[in-house]
A = this chain, B = another copy of it.
C-alpha cells in the first residue's frame, strides 16, 4: 500500500541501534554494526541531525547521539526527516502548482483528510514501540 523507503527503513535500524547506546557512535561504527556502507550511513545521519533527532559532535572522538527520548520520537518524525515533508497529495505540493482537474479545488481539502489520517497514525507510533 504505502511503501516505506529504504532510506527510512535504514534510519529506523540506525536509530534503534543508537537507542541502546549511551555513548557516542561514529559513522564507521554504525556502518559496521548495521552492514550499511559508510556513505549511506553518513547521508542518513546528516538528515537526522538537521531534523534535530540526533545531535553530533565533530572532530576526533566525535560521533552521534540521540537527541530525543525514544518514546518521544515518532515514526512520522523519522520518515519526514528522511523522505521530506512532502504532502500526501500531488495537488497540494506547493501553492504554485495549479490544480488542473478541478478549478478552485475543493478536492484538495478532501485529500488532506487522507494526509491527516496517515500523519496522525504515524504520530502515534514511537521509536520505542518499534524497537523494544
Binding site for B on A (CB under 8 A): 1-6, 9-10, 12-13, 16, 34-36, 75-76, 79-80, 83, 85-91, 100-102, 107, 110-111, 113-115, 117-122, 124-125, 129-131
Expressed in whole angstroms, the minimum distance between the Cβ of A66 and any Cβ of chain B is: 17
* Majority SS at the chain A contact face: helix
A83 to chain B: which residues have CB within 8 Å? 1
What are 10 A-B interface contacts by the 8 Å CB criterion? A1-B88, A1-B118, A3-B86, A3-B89, A4-B90, A12-B107, A12-B111, A34-B101, A114-B125, A120-B121
A4, A5, A35, A102, most chain B CB atoms within 10 A: A4
CB <8 Å contact, A9 and B118: no
CB <8 Å contact, B110 and A131: yes
